[in-house]
Amino acid sequence: MYEERFDKRGFDELRPMEAETGIIPNAKGSARFRIGNTEAIAAVYGPEEVKPKHFEKVDKGIIMCKYDMLPFSVPDRAKPGMDRRDMEISDVITNALNRAVILEEFPRSMITVRVYVTQADAGTRCASLTAASMACADAGLPMRDLVAAVAAGKIGDSICLDLTKEEEDFHEGGATDVPIGFLPSKNEIVLLQLDGKVTKEELSRIVEMGKLGAMKIYELEKSVLQGRFSNESKS
């Protein structure tokens, strides 16, 4: 049984969030997104010539994305360098961004996305995808929509939004984690993973809760980007 959350949040409540863009002057676009004690920064470069050349596509651009959890992001120093988990997360972020960025506008070109997790308390792939999506928009890339991503899941018998690491490690009744990436204006899911066991009915409740949470993240992303572009037009 999990009747009250460790941090006293409502079951459908997100952790406090912060977002900003334009944090890395040497990148074409950049963003920082924090949710609770999880924070990711993203930098976007390009479009530029594809390297290595054999990855080039004649009819559209490609996204090369790398996710990296910095050694100091967790209490037990994470091992530097890419492991299997980093490769998997880089792939799922790339797949989601492929649906968001209009790559047909950049044939034979490459967009590089680097995401660094500076603090990790669960939900890093979602925070990274949200930051990467904002950085793509900050770079001025044409997009079908912004990606808003958050994990939802089940702890004991309770369906919950935006799990912390302490919740993911819940033993009594176990925990299930479902990271969700959403293109709100298209009503399209671009990231969906499942770590644990749930029934079909529970999964649809989890996805619905995740989509509602993602809508709140989307509102924050839009307001930060609107502020950023209106400041640019004034200067």
Binding site for ligand UDP (CB under 6 A): 74, 78, 85, 120-125, 165, 168, 177, 179
CB atoms within 10 A of CB 89: 24
**Interatomic CA distance for residues 126 and 214, integer angstroms:** 10
- Name which of 165 and 228 has its Cβ closer to ligand UDP: 165
For the CB of residue 91, give the shortest distance to ligand UDP in the complex, in Å: 13
Q: Is residue 52 reached through a cis peptide bond, with omega within 30 degrees of 0 on the bond before it?
A: yes
Residue among 165 and 205 whose Cβ is closer to ligand UDP: 165
**Cβ neighbours around 4 below 10 Å, total:** 10
Q: How far is the CB of 78 from ligand UDP (least distance, A)?
A: 5
Query: 139 vs 178, which CB is nearer to ligand UDP?
Result: 178
Shortest approach of ligand UDP to residue 208 CB, angstroms? 20
Q: Give least dist CB 204 to ligand UDP, A.
A: 21
Strands (E), the chain: 17-21, 29-35, 38-49, 62-69, 109-119, 148-155, 158-161, 175-183, 188-192
Task: Report the distance separating Cα 140 and Cα 142, nearest Å.
Answer: 6
Residue 139 CA to residue 137 CA, distance in Å, equals: 5
**Dihedral (CA of 187, 9, 124, 167) sign:** negative
Q: Rounded to the nearest whole angstrom, what is the least distance from the CB of residue 213 to ligand UDP in the complex?
A: 14
- The minimum distance between CB 24 and ligand UDP, in angstroms, equals 22
Which CB, 2 or 229, lies closer to ligand UDP?
2
Closest to ligand UDP by CB, 62 or 175: 175
Reported residue count of the chain is 235
**In this chain, which residue has its C-beta nearest to ligand UDP?**
124
Picking from 155, 163, 170, 123, the residue whose alpha carbon sits closest to that of residue 9 is 163
Q: Give CA torsion, residues 96, 100, 101, 105, to 10 deg.
A: 120
Closer to ligand UDP at the Cβ: 122 or 161?
122
Minimum distance, C-beta of residue 54 to ligand UDP, in the bound complex (Å):
31
Of 51 and 85, CB closest to ligand UDP: 85
